[in-house]
Amino acid sequence: MEKLAQKKRENVAALMTQLGDNVTVKVYLCVDGKPKELPESDHGHFFQDNVYAVDIKGDGHRYIN
């Protein structure tokens, strides 16, 4: 499990490097079919039965998952 977690951390670091200096991250929880933006303090706390959207914007790049 630790190997998987390390690989994820490496992938995030590579993505953030690619995005550049001016990076914004927004996380949304789908509630009744509508996105509800989560506060930054809740970023990274995901629950199995919920649906989330993560929007990461940087200089010239955007990643939505």
Is the pLDDT at 60 greater than 80, yes or no? Answer: no
Q: Which domain holds residue 31?
A: 2-64
State residue 58's pLDDT score.
85
Contact 28, 52 (CB under 8 A): yes
CA 46 to chain CA centroid, nearest Å: 10
Q: Is residue 57 a contact partner of residue 24, using CB atoms and an 8 Å limit?
A: yes
Work out the number of other CB atoms within 10 angstroms of the CB of residue 27. 20
63 or 14, higher pLDDT:
14
Look up residue 44 and give its amino acid. Answer: G
Total tally of structural domains belonging to the chain: 1
* Tens of pLDDT, residues 25-57: 999 999 999 999 999 999 888 999 999 999 988
Poorest-confidence range of 1-5, 16-20, 28-32, 41-45?
16-20
Integer Cα distance of 61 and 47 in angstroms: 27
What is the rounded CA–CA span in Å between residue 61 and residue 15? 10
Question: What pLDDT shows up at residue 50?
Answer: 94
